Structure 1
């Protein structure tokens, strides 16, 4: 089931964090724990990196490549993920707020209990991702790719999702009713249970080949 009503868990981040510079991350042998990073660039290609219990603000990951990176209990605030390569990444109990995700590649990633709020995600790629209780709130997601995603819950709330690719993704329980779009790519055999507005329902009816008679 793609959509669901399970409650999302919030990140467990201490109010007392050690503040370090972005470049000092790589001195920690791939395990960055209980730190706050403000400004800076994390643009180094790294293998096997874990961020745990961290708060990152105004940090840029733009154009970086990470292999097997894990983010557990991490808050990202106004960060830049433009064109970052994060295939097979893990996000667990994370919040990504006011951040730029244009062209970010998160294909084959695993995301659970994760919030994207007020993010710019044009062309972001989540294809083949596993999404478990993932919320997209007030995000700009035109041309995003969620091809053949699996999981037990994701939802869009007040998002712009024009031309988003949801083909082969099970939309049972996914609520699109508060989001706006002109066109979607979906697999008609997987739309049963999707929650839509009356106007959106007419669009789905036309995709099914029905003629909607105006009263």
Structure 2
């Protein structure tokens, strides 16, 4: 016999569905202004507690550098060499540039706000607790990168390449994800439900480990059918 306990049972608390992504909590200390007349970035440089404001860093060599508690605001990054650089507890706001090289870089507790970038190289990089908010990033190369606790919020990503990357607790919130390459991706707790435009060019079969909405499922149904060799035809 099943008893009706609705009158005495306490109401269950609503649980948030989907993965819980740990966002960065960047609290910058008072910053010293960076002096662009000091010779520019240097390979393996050490930058601590500095504000780079409206500085043109185009073409400069900062490979292997460390940026701790720094802010880069409205800076130009055309062709800037930052391979293997480390950004820790830092903010990149309004940065712009084409061909910025951040291959093999490490970003931990970093906010990237309203960036306008093209062809940014982040292949082999490690991103942990990183927020991308706003802006537009074209041809982002994240091949073989590792992303953990990363949020893309309100940004436009065109032809992003995630080939071979590992994504764990990654959320795409209110984004446009156009012509994305997911070839060889491994996903764990990846939330795509609020993506405004979900367009996958390659790697549709790599969505295991992601959560999508029912509307997105209907949108992707023809591609899923084609993936497994099913023809969908209406009766004459």
After TM superposition, the score normalised by the length of structure 2 is 0.71
Aligned residue in 2 for 1:32: 67
* Change beyond 3 A, Cα 1:173–1:116: closer
- Aligned residue for 1:64, secondary structure, equals coil
* Change beyond 3 A, Cα 1:205–1:130: closer
* Residues 155, 174 of structure 1: 8 Å contact kept: yes
* Change beyond 3 A, Cα 1:86–1:206: closer
Which structure has the highest strand share of the two? Answer: 2
Aligned residue in 1 for 2:76: 41
Q: Does 1:174 align with 2:174?
A: no
User: 1:89-112 CA distances to partner (integer Å, 9 max, x unpaired)?
Assistant: 111001001122111111111111
Q: How many residues are matched?
A: 193
Q: Does 1:7 align with 2:23?
A: no
1:205 CA displacement:
7.1
Q: Does 1:150 align with 2:169?
A: no
Q: Does 1:123 align with 2:159?
A: yes
Aligned residue in 1 for 2:196: 159
Calculate the aligned-residue CA RMSD, in Å. 2.7
Compare relative contact order (CA 8 Å, sep 6+) and give the higher one, 1 or 2. 1
* Change beyond 3 A, Cα 1:66–1:206: closer
- In structure 2, the gaps of 5 or more residues are 1-16, 48-64
User: 1:17-61 CA distances to partner (integer Å, 9 max, x unpaired)?
Assistant: 526459666542611011222111234213321000011110124
- Aligned residue for 2:87, secondary structure, equals strand
